[in-house]
């Protein structure tokens, strides 16, 4: 099949970017989106042009490295799918595709489609440690976790940190990502001692990074390749309000699932 691409090309962080048109022919419908870009890059290298820079690593939909906005949809049109797991068969033959990087002040473009997502790392870092005894492995049944709490914590932990939620949000808010990270520890007994300080520190860092404010559009959830639910945002808000009203020191009580 054949596709026409308009790709955002930007030489470096401070360079001005622009869309450049490429016609790619003779690609298979069974190729992944990134394989199609690989083919194009080989052609560009053959013509001694600069290949298109894009992030990728596992190409299995589990690492969170890849991501670009394809025709107005982060990770493209298919639900619950990363860019690396998207296939050309999702598009009609001859499709015209606009490809741009995640756009957010907190995610500055490094080159072409590659953005710097270390803001996410600093939010995680601000969340800090959990107080567990390290050393020999604990006895498996010494801390009981209700099945529904374990499941919900796993749902939150599925977040791969790709940043599509920020990219999709009309406000460039990172609240879905932060909510997932706050919740997966907040739902488990091991996460209780620092539950209040964790949510406060992560929210403070999120604001410092320059993300926007969530107004509950729900676009993040629709774009998220792991279908993280905005119910976790309500949970983050609840924990933050509790911490603010009661004062941090006391907000750490209660077991994860029930609270």
Partner 1 sequence: MATLSAGTTRPSLTRSLVGKKVVMAVTGGILFLFVVGHLLGNLKVFQGPEHFNAYAEGLRTVGAPFFGRGWVLWIVRSVLLASLFAHIWAAVGVTRASWRARPVAYHRLDPVETTYAARTMRWGGVIIFVYVVYHLLDLTFGRLNPSFVPGDVYHNLVASFQRWPVSVAYIAAVVVVGLHCYHGLWSALQTLGLNRPPTVAWRRRVAGGIAAAITAGYIAIPAAVLGGVLR
Shortest CB 44 distance to partner 1, Å: 21
Q: Name which of 7 and 164 has its Cβ closer to ligand SF4.
A: 164
Chain centre distance of CA 37: 21
- Span of 38-46, 59-67, 86-94, 100-108 interacting with partner 1 by CB under 8 A: 100-108
Q: Name which of 42 and 215 has its Cβ closer to ligand HEM.
A: 215
Q: 185 near 232, Cβ under 8 Å?
A: no
Position among 76, 163, 186, 256 found at the interface with ligand SF4 (CB under 6 A)? 163
**CA distance to 13, 49, 131, per residue, from 236 (Å):** 33, 47, 20
Q: Name which of 5 and 205 has its Cβ closer to ligand SF4.
A: 205
Position among 223, 225, 256, 257 found at the interface with partner 1 (CB under 8 A)? 223
HSE-up of residue 184 (Cα within 13 Å, Cβ side): 16
Phi, psi of 93 (to 5 degrees): -60, 135
**CA distance to 25, 73, 152, 202, per residue, from 164 (Å):** 28, 9, 21, 19
Shortest CB 35 distance to partner 1, Å: 24
Q: 178 near 201, Cβ under 8 Å?
A: no
Closest CA to 84 of 36, 29, 32: 32
Q: 66 near 57, Cβ under 8 Å?
A: yes
> For ligand FES, what does the binding mask look like between residues 36 and 65, x meaning CB under 6 A?
--------------------xxxx-xxxxx
List contacts with ligand HEM (CB under 6 A).
215-216
List contacts with partner 1 (CB under 8 A).
6, 8, 19, 69, 71-73, 98, 100, 103-106, 108-109, 118-119, 122, 125-126, 168, 170-173, 175, 197, 200-201, 203-219, 221-223, 230-231, 233-241, 243-244, 248
List contacts with ligand FES (CB under 6 A).
56-59, 61-66, 82-84
């Amino acid at each position: 099949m054949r596709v026409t691409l308009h790709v955002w090309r930007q030489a470096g962080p401070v360079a001005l970017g622009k869309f450049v048109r490429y016609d790619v022919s003779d690609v298979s419908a069974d190729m992944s989106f990134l394989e199609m870009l690989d083919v194009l890059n080989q052609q560009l290298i053959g013509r001694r042009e600069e290949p298109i820079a894009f992030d990728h690593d596992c190409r299995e939909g589990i690492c969170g490295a890849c991501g670009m906005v394809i025709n107005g949809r982060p990770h493209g049109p298919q639900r619950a799918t990363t860019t690396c797991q998207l296939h050309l068969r999702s598009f009609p033959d001859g499709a015209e595709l606009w490809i741009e990087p995640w756009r957010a002040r907190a995610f500055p473009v490094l080159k072409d489609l590659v953005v710097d997502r270390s803001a996410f790392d600093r939010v995680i870092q601000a969340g800090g440690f959990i107080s567990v005894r390290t050393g020999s492995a604990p006895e498996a049944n010494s801390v009981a976790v209700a099945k529904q709490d374990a499941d919900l914590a796993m749902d939150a932990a599925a977040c791969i940190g790709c940043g599509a939620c920020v990219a999709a949000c009309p406000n460039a808010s990172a609240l879905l990502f932060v909510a997932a990270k706050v919740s997966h520890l907040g739902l488990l007994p091991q996460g209780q001692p620092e539950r209040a300080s964790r949510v406060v520190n992560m929210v403070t860092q999120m604001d410092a990074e320059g993300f926007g404010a969530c107004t509950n559009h729900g676009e993040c959830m629709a774009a998220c390749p792991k279908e993280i639910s905005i119910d976790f945002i309500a949970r983050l808000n609840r924990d933050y309000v509790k911490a603010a009203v009661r004062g941090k020191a006391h907000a750490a009580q209660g077991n994860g699932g029930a609270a």
